[in-house]
Amino acid sequence: MTFFVADDAFDYIVEARNNAGKQHCDYMRVYIREDVKSCCGPAYGFEFAEYSEPQDYYLPFEKRGVGILRVLIDPKWKDILNNVEIVLVDMPMVPMGKGLKIKNPNVRSKCACGN
């Protein structure tokens, strides 16, 4: 399984984890949100976790001077999350002004609006 985290997204994730008081959480779980239905492809979720499940795919990332990020993916999402990249994007409507986006070559947008 291949998975990418852009450098600025890595910094943002580590900062968000620390700001949320979750420094003790060694993992970030990435998943498909089954509670959200969208015509534009899957909605993704991120959550910090203290432990992994035995069946999880474990993808470690390290950036010198910043820290370690361990991404977890449930096997049921492995095909759809293979070869994705987490990037940082401008989101003026959120408090930090930035947010995470998953660039997924496995999903084609089906949105009628063309976005």
Spans of all domains in the chain: 3-103
Task: Find the mean pLDDT for residues 87-98.
Answer: 88
Tokens coding 26? 């060694």
- Does 77 score more than 70 pLDDT? yes
Residue range 97-106, pLDDT digits in tens: 899 999 999 8
Q: 3-103: which CATH topology?
A: Hypothetical Protein Aq_1857; Chain: A; (2.60.300)
Number of other residues whose CB lies within 10 A of the CB of residue 70: 17
- Does 107 score more than 90 pLDDT? no
Average pLDDT, the chain: 88
Residue range 43-57, pLDDT digits in tens: 899 999 999 999 999
- Does 66 score more than 80 pLDDT? no
**What one-character DSSP code corresponds to residue 52?**
-
Structure pTM?
0.82
